[in-house]
Chains A and B, each alone.
Chain A
Amino acid sequence: MGTDLLLPVVVLFAVLVAGVYLVQVFDGIVASALSGIPARDHWLAPLRRGAWLWLQQDITTEHPDALNWRLAPMVYFTLAALGMAVIPWAGQVVAADLSTGIVLWGSVEALATVVIFLHGWSANAVFPLLGAYRYVALGLSYILISMFVLIGVALPAESLKITYVVLSQQELWNVVRQPLGLPLFLIVGLGIAFWGPLNFADSADLAGGTAAEVSGPHRLLWTVARSAMLVAFSAVAAATFLGGWLGPWLPGLVWMVLKMLLVLAALLLLGRVLARPAPERFLTFAWVVLLPLAFLDLVWAGLEAL
């Protein structure tokens, strides 16, 4: 058990660390491409900002819930790492091949709601609390849609194990077999990681939302945790829709990482080009349009599997 866990765990941590760094780099590249303002150095900028945050004072508000406030970014990062643990990087390289990997992802999303609420509420300030409220108000919508889409993906695999889901895509990738699935899943990803258009928790109209009263290493950890969740989500999307490690010529691990980076780049681009809708409007859209589409996707997947 020891040695065949070593490689997956090493891969997991390497992908997490490199992924978090690449999220910041890609985001910077997308930002300067869209705004037309060239940044000084895309590759060093995240490290410089990280150094600045590391050295900054970790200032507090009046009587925050200090334990939960500090714990929230750590738990959020742990949830992202837990989610990545069930993802296979190559045929046998998976840290925890849980027979209910897909349900674990549902739990990760549900627990993430708790953690983000705690991060907002613990600050004992107005804007973080409003950010927390807004995230929780929409959290159920994302979880429902993601569960329907993932069940659709599990149907051809006849299993909830993500390894089997990847293996079931040997003839045809799920992005082609269930065309509604990946777009819906990307929207869910933006929501769960509260990024870009669905960033209701840390949004600009709340002066940074749950991160408004946060500084120093705490803020660094929160940024790292958010990026880790994006990376984890991209990895799941790559494994369940883009065929995971399957592909010619290159080794499986390289394919998996490339597909993950592709989904990550798509999420980061969408994050910078779409405006944030009003929460009520998005709620209506999610329950009136996206949920029926998720049902349709499930029915389509069922018919296909028959």
Chain B
Amino acid sequence: MSWLQRMAGEAPVPVYVARGIDASHDDLAALALDANIELVATPRHAAVLLVVGTVPAKFHDGLRRLHDQMPRPATTLWYRSRPLPEFDAPHTLSKTDRLAPTLTDLYRTLYGRTPQPVLLPDRPPAPWRGLGDYGQGGEGMMGGTPYGRPMAMTDDDLRDGLQLDALGFTLGPFFGPWAPGLLMHMSLQGDVVQRVSVQSPPFPQAPPTVFGAALRGAVPIADLELARARSHLFGLAHSLETAGLRSLALRTLAHAARLRPGVDIGLMRGWLRRCGLFASVPPGCGQLTRTQAIRIGGTAARAAGQPMDARLEDPAYRRLGFSVIVQDAGDCRARWRQWLGEIEQSLALADRAAGENVYTDQTEVVETPRGRWRRGAGIADASAVLEELLPGMEWSEAMATIASLDVAAGEPGEGGEP
């Protein structure tokens, strides 16, 4: 290997993560916090494609496209996932603690390996043979869709009846800022979302295991509340990353990794306010109506002023002095404030519960960060709300709204009954 290749091998590993079903947040948070790994936003910046969790067959073509979009030299690591049949000797892994070292090894040995095959044919989407005088289709001025590329046609705009070129595209299911599996077709004018249609809802996300255990028997409230606080911190880190504050997002993830009962997050609240996250979206951005809020449930409902919380039905929580926190507006800012408030509340509850060693009393229903989970029933998918919510928003407001909302279904997992 030349010295240039040796130097390149010392750089942090650029990894693009394609999340399938049951991709857990904790593994990815640990990867993000590793100084040797850099999680990139697009496969074109990546050297390793990390496929986490099972990918359903209908999305295999998308996976192939991701793989082909990586510039060579590149490789793929299948973590708890079945590799695509095209690969002769795929790199697989199922042990958590070897994830970062395996990625680093794969990256360091990239130059010595045979080049990765290209999985999809490198041709325009549709063949074309023009018949007309200028190579066009023959009838009228266009006569068909040349090379599979539709002509840019104007379309109505939600604002003031303008008619500009509408840009339509499908995004997902491995788009980083969104929930894994969410496939949406969007139509934009400029950067304002005109129409959204959910082609495929996000994969069901099982809540952290302690919530499943809470439906089978009593669990320490301290563990439950710590898991809740950690989950909300992941949500905040995600929102910070979307707002361009990657370093502060990593700091939040680091907080989440070393969370203990009774930790004071006053400092974090301080820099969250000063960094301008709340000011980055206009007030009323992503405002949920009452029906939408109730349909999504969980933190989003409480942020919209609906005091729905399954912990109210648990005598153990009432003894600890639990009371529901709600916000007035149902917009993005309110949801972030709600997360912050619930983190503080959870840490305080965990502190008190750990001191008195309190267990949950209620095992029929548990309040997960995503919403209310009754034994035997899952949490319903609410991604159709996005179709009503996003039109009319600018792109960055739309992304901030999606980051502040959790609309994936929660599957029964191992806690509920099948």
Contacts and interface: CB of A to CB of B under 8 A. Distances in A.
A281 B243 CA distance: 14
Interface string A234-255: 0000000000000000000000
B141 interface: no
Report whether over half of chain A's contact residues are helix, strand or loop; otherwise say mixed: helix
B71 A56 contact: yes
A279 B394 contact: yes
Contacts of A137: 190
Given A51-B4, A205-B396, A278-B282, A38 B251 contact: no
A47 B7 contact: yes
A54 B4 contact: yes
Interface stretch (B93-101, B217-225, B272-280): B272-280
Interface string B242-254: 1111111111001
A206 B395 CA distance: 9
Interface stretch (A14-22, A149-157, A212-220): A212-220
Interface stretch (A3-11, A29-37, A165-173): A29-37
A306 interface: no
Given A35-B254, A37-B33, A62-B124, A196 B248 contact: no
A135 B169 CA distance: 21
A126 to B, nearest CB: 5
A57 interface: yes
A184 B36 CA distance: 38
B5 interface: yes
Given A215-B45, A277-B279, A278-B394, A34 B399 contact: no
A278 B41 contact: no
A207 B41 contact: yes
Contacts of B314: none
A299 interface: no
Interface residues of B, number: 60
A250 to B, nearest CB: 33
B11 A52 contact: yes
A195 B14 CA distance: 21
Contact of A48 (B8, B190, B248, B285): B8
A193 to B, nearest CB: 14
A214 B44 contact: yes
B276 A133 contact: no
Nearest to A271: B244
A48 B107 CA distance: 13
Contacts of B10: 40, 44, 48
B35 A274 contact: no
Interface in B212-245: 240-245
B392 to A, nearest CB: 12
A144 interface: no
Given A48-B8, A278-B394, A37 B35 contact: yes
B254 A208 contact: no
A99 B360 CA distance: 78
A136 to B, nearest CB: 10
B176 A207 contact: yes
Nearest to A207: B41
A35 B250 contact: yes
A129 interface: yes
Most buried by A among B14, B33, B41, B396: B396
Contacts of B7: 47-48, 51-52
A135 to B, nearest CB: 11
18 contacts: A36-B251, A37-B250, A45-B12, A47-B7, A48-B8, A51-B11, A56-B47, A57-B73, A126-B167, A200-B396, A204-B242, A205-B399, A206-B395, A215-B44, A215-B71, A275-B243, A276-B244, A276-B280
The 10 nearest A-B residue pairs measured at CB: A34-B247, A35-B250, A48-B11, A52-B8, A51-B7, A276-B244, A205-B399, A57-B71, A35-B247, A59-B71
Given A49-B11, A130-B188, A272-B246, 4 more contacts: A37-B254, A203-B244, A205-B177, A206-B395
